[in-house]
Amino acid sequence: MDIPAIGDTEELSCDVLVIGGGTAGTMAALTAAERGARVLLLEKAHVRHSGALAMGMDGVNNAVVPGRAEPDDYVAEITRANDGIVDQSTVRQTATRGFAMVQRLESYGVKFEKDEHGEYAVRQVHRSGAYVLPMPEGKDVKKVLYRQLRRREMRERIRIENRVMPVRVLTSPEDGRAIGAAAFNTRTGAFVTVRAGAVILATGPCGRLGLPASGYLYGTYENPTNAGDGYAMAYHAGAALTGIECFQINPLIKDYNGPACAYVANPFGGYQVNRHGERFVDSDYWSGQMMAEFAAELASDRGPVYLKLSHLPEESVASLESILHTTERPTRGTFHAGRGHDYRTHDIEMHISEIGLCGGHSASGVRVDDHARTTVPRLYAAGDLASVPHNYMIGAFVFGDLAGGDASRYTAYEGTLPADQLAAAHELIYRPLRNPDGPPQPQVEYKLRRFVNDYVAPPKTGAKLSLAVAAFDRMTGEIAEMGATTAHELMRCAEVSFIRDCAEMAARSSLARTESRWGLYHERLDHPERDDTGWLHHLDLRKSASGAMEFTARPVEPYLVPVDGFAPAGGPSRHLGEVDLVPVATAGPREAAPAARAQAGPVPDAAHPAATPLRAGGASPRILELLALAEESPDLAALSPYLTDPDPAVRAAAVAALGETVPAGAGPALAARLADADPAVRAAAAAALRELVEVLPGGPELGAGLRAALAVPDAAVRSAALEALRALRLGEAGLYAASLADADPEVRIHAVRGLVSVDAVPELAAAAADPAREVRVAVAKGLASVHAPAPAPLDPLLADPDPLVRGAALGALASAGCPDGYARTAVAALADAAWQVRAGAAAGLSAAAAEAAVPALAKALADANADVRKAAVLALLAHRDTAEARAALATAVTDPDADVRAYAARG
């Protein structure tokens, strides 16, 4: 393609420019538009399926739900996880605003797991604090957000430009404030300039920094489109970045670029073990310290390390498969099948990811205050790009909302855009077109990221980091010589320049912090100790007026929430300037400079394969009409002809469009499709109802349609109908009790949940004789979940022949009560042959009288099974006001199992 003239530009104007259409960016755009601003949203891909949320999310890691967790506890937890280096005012925004954001997302149609009474089913994954809120059907989060962006009232204020990639934030020569951006179209190559009143960066982390063990450039733990764009743009705009030496490193599946998902598996009973089957992680929060323990175990003779799932019952394994093979990674099931592995017989071998930069899962990012403002006026950062430690998805939404609200005060810049900045951006974008035969982007990027692995990845040393800086300086010239012939290749070349900037920032920051902190994230072999006296500081970097990278040590501000072990005093910052490189010895001194090599001639270029034209698919023209119509947010009348089309593919597409646009009357229309003759249409309708159940009005027409669906000879439809009836409070005890006679166990489980939601204890107790074990387990748990649980209805389940049922019933005594007779039953069950029964008995004894429970639980601390010992410790914590319980806990602090030790220490 030809290089467009710098004057031949498409100029856009807006009040608020949002760069990045992922988690934080969509929320920023929505909030700014709601406040009356004209918003321009730029996305280098397509907003409908871009960012880390593109494939959905399996859960929220930091939901501070009232009654289940306290904001101050969460702030303290994150402070400990980040070794004290936090700005608590920013973390507190997520802690205090996160629950309102959960409710806002729910009003959009995002579905979070709830119990039978409609309460949020928050799980405890860490040893302190219950913050994890599962989203078992969270695969459609991005679709829901896109639906909000495309609402008529939002389309009037939000302009979306897909396939437009910004490369530089433009700043005012007078006062340095952000006034727009320079970009280009990744399809046509056209040069694009934007003038704006404020700019919000929401481009995600730098996930494409280190090279994965596979060597595949895009096989990263993080979304590989996140190449550090925002980090580089913020740096060159003059903003301060902080914590760049605190890397992100995660456990993942061996040979597969997917997380091992302990967050998902833990509530089901999964956990990490070494090859001997021993739990070994002492650290509580998912942090650099935990990764250090993980790496040490992996490198020892106790490795490899596994996520243990093979001990779980079929019901739990099936549920995990449903989540891990759909929402989390759709290719994961295929990967395991190709290896011949099954969670029932094989535990999952784990390994360590490549390094990256990420605020949301670690701490490295653009410095922001508690309104998402950077150090550059009118420039904001939100999401994984912003340095708000362990902010995760909810924090990204919260800071997107904060940025959008604050930025909405400004109106479009009306001055002349700075010619020198536009010229520099134009050169950065189009220089590869002048070298069409230059080194291709994949080769240059591979070399760059291999240097990152060789010299920057922990454990770090000054010598290796200095070699890294020299390598990245040298590669500036190689990057300038990269060749490209298409707009898509220009995008990839620009990304390499961003990766190089991030690599240099990571290396120089790691050199500047002369201590070890955050476990594996910043392990300096030449400075192995943590130094709170000299380094309880943020390490800020910025671009100086001369273009050099300079550093400032900024003291941590006094905490809003006190945390034992850390006492920041604040005070003045310490300007460090440029970092000194460590001298690296060579083979010896030279007596004379080496002679220059003769210039090599040009290397002939291999012929570029011609682009293969796309061929038209076999989709029905009616589907194409429907897709075009859906972009206009049609009403139900416009969609109705497609819902009854003779072609089932058209009907299924119409159901999908109905779920995406949600016009008035969508609920009854979806319920009607539950009786469709085609199974794919029924499945689509059931999925849409599950996704939208929180936002559909529960009127009588919808209730009638769902009741009618209970007669459909499709178990998945009947399950979906019961679930919707329960969630919308449209069912009663008689209806749910009737479904206990259904032939399908999954339907009967939903009937049990329905009975729990209306506290129908007699009908629920009648299901204790169900032939399916999984239903009886659900009954046991349900009897503990009604508003007034009592132990008597559990009697038949306590004598059940199946050990999993007995274990669930014994565990239910913890909520239902464990008076003397039941306490004797639980004590006797501590000698059962099945460990699940013994663990349930220990849990139940937490509600028994101390004189009966504590001696038995103390003996259970010697059980051969670690899960039983863990249950005994947790039960003893309920009795820790007695000296006997505290004495028993004291004996468990040296248990060989890490979980048992940790929980015992809390007592």
Tens of pLDDT, residue by residue over 244-269, are: 999 999 888 888 877 767 667 887 88
pTM higher than the cut 0.75: yes
Q: What is the largest CA-CA distance in the chain?
A: 96
**Residue 445 scores a pLDDT above 80:** yes
Find tokens 């500036």 and name the residue.
476
- Mean pLDDT confidence for 786-804: 95
CA dist., res. 19 & res. 205, Å (int): 13
Nearest to 137 by CA among 111, 175, 173, 157: 111
pLDDT 10s digits, 531-547: 999 999 999 999 998 99
191-201 and 9-19: which strand pairing? parallel
CA dist., res. 472 & res. 462, Å (int): 15
CA dist., res. 93 & res. 370, Å (int): 7
**DSSP designation for 608:** P
Q: Which residue has the higher pLDDT, 290 or 161?
A: 161
**Residue 608 scores a pLDDT above 60:** no
CA dist., res. 487 & res. 734, Å (int): 63
CB of 366 closer than 8 Å to CB of 202: no
CA dist., res. 295 & res. 520, Å (int): 8
In angstroms, what CA-CA distances link 681 with 384, 645, 672, 767? Answer: 37, 11, 11, 32
**Residue 299 scores a pLDDT above 60:** yes
Please name the residues in contact with 285: beta carbons below 8 A apart, sequence gap of 6 or more: 77, 78, 80, 81, 126, 390
Q: Count the helices and strands in the chain (H runs, E runs).
A: 35, 18
CA dist., res. 839 & res. 869, Å (int): 8
- Mean pLDDT confidence for 749-772: 95
Nearest to 493 by CA among 399, 429, 436, 554: 429
- Per-residue confidence (pLDDT) for residue 603, from 0 to 100: 42
**Residue 621 scores a pLDDT above 90:** no
In angstroms, what CA-CA distances link 831 with 839, 870, 905? Answer: 10, 16, 26
For 76, half-sphere exposure in the C-beta direction (CA atoms, 13 angstrom radius) is 13
Q: Which residue has the higher pLDDT, 120 or 666?
A: 666
- Flag the least confident range among 149-158, 493-502, 596-605, 701-710: 596-605
Between the two ends of the chain, the Cα-to-Cα distance in Å is 69
Identify the band that residue 765 occupies on the pLDDT scale cut at 50, 70 and 90: very high
Instruction: List, as one string, the DSSP characters of 163-226.
Output: TEEEEEEEE-TTT--EEEEEEEETTT--EEEEEEEEEEE----B-SSSPPTT--TT--SS-TT-
Nearest to 108 by CA among 134, 146, 135, 137: 146
CA dist., res. 904 & res. 907, Å (int): 5
- Mean pLDDT confidence for 643-666: 91
**Residue 28 scores a pLDDT above 80:** yes
92: left (phi over 0), alpha (psi -120 to 50) or beta: alpha
Nearest to 212 by CA among 252, 261, 260: 252
**Residue 612 scores a pLDDT above 50:** no
885: number of Cβ within 10 Å: 21
Please name the residues in contact with 642: beta carbons below 8 A apart, sequence gap of 6 or more: 622, 626, 650, 651, 653, 654, 657
CA dist., res. 626 & res. 653, Å (int): 8
CA dist., res. 410 & res. 172, Å (int): 15
Burial 223-235 (b: 16+ CB within 10 A, else e): bbbbbbbbbbbbb
pLDDT 10s digits, 178-192: 999 999 999 999 999
- One-letter amino acid identity for 197? G
Please name the residues in contact with 26: beta carbons below 8 A apart, sequence gap of 6 or more: 41, 47, 145, 146, 148, 149, 400
CB of 359 closer than 8 Å to CB of 205: yes
Helix, strand, coil fractions of the chain, as percent rounded to 5: 45, 10, 40
CA dist., res. 802 & res. 316, Å (int): 16
Report how far Cα 138 is from the mean position of its chain's Cα atoms: 11
Helix (H) or strand (E) run with residue 549 in it: strand 549-555
461: left (phi over 0), alpha (psi -120 to 50) or beta: beta
Return mean pLDDT, the chain: 91
Identify the band that residue 132 occupies on the pLDDT scale cut at 50, 70 and 90: confident
- Mean pLDDT confidence for 650-669: 91
178-185 and 164-171: which strand pairing? antiparallel
- Mean pLDDT confidence for 290-296: 91
59-60 and 191-201: which strand pairing? unpaired
Structure tokens at 769: 């004789």
- Mean pLDDT confidence for 136-161: 87
Partner residues linked to 200 by β-bridges: 18, 380
- Mean pLDDT confidence for 274-292: 86
- Per-residue confidence (pLDDT) for residue 771, from 0 to 100: 95
Identify the band that residue 126 occupies on the pLDDT scale cut at 50, 70 and 90: low
- Mean pLDDT confidence for 626-639: 87
pLDDT 10s digits, 849-903: 999 999 999 999 999 999 999 999 999 999 999 999 999 999 999 999 999 998 9
- Flag the least confident range among 9-18, 151-160, 426-435, 585-594: 585-594
Q: Please classify residue 87 by burial: count the beta carbons closer than 10 Å to its beta carbon, then call 0-12 exposed, 13-18 middle and 19+ buried.
A: buried
For 888, half-sphere exposure in the C-beta direction (CA atoms, 13 angstrom radius) is 27
Nearest to 74 by CA among 132, 26, 116: 132
Identify the band that residue 243 occupies on the pLDDT scale cut at 50, 70 and 90: very high
Report how far Cα 801 is from the mean position of its chain's Cα atoms: 41
CA dist., res. 19 & res. 381, Å (int): 10
Q: Which residue has the higher pLDDT, 460 or 590?
A: 460
Identify the band that residue 138 occupies on the pLDDT scale cut at 50, 70 and 90: low
pLDDT 10s digits, 816-851: 999 999 999 999 999 999 999 999 999 999 999 999
Find tokens 């500081």 and name the residue.
537
- Per-residue confidence (pLDDT) for residue 458, from 0 to 100: 96
Q: In what order do the strands lie in the sheet with 251-253?
A: 251-253, 348-352, 305-308, 271-274
**Residue 67 scores a pLDDT above 90:** no
Q: Which residue has the higher pLDDT, 58 or 649?
A: 649
Locate all alpha helices (DSSP H) within 200-341, ordered by sequence.
Answer: 229-236, 262-265, 288-299, 314-323, 332-339
Identify the band that residue 669 occupies on the pLDDT scale cut at 50, 70 and 90: very high
CA dist., res. 260 & res. 638, Å (int): 44
305-308 and 348-352: which strand pairing? antiparallel
CA torsion through residues 384, 388, 394, 399, sign: negative
279: number of Cβ within 10 Å: 21
Please name the residues in contact with 19: beta carbons below 8 A apart, sequence gap of 6 or more: 25, 42, 166, 169, 181, 199, 200, 201, 202, 203, 229, 230, 233
Structure tokens at 210: 């280190």
CA dist., res. 640 & res. 874, Å (int): 56
Identify the band that residue 596 occupies on the pLDDT scale cut at 50, 70 and 90: low
CA dist., res. 390 & res. 736, Å (int): 42
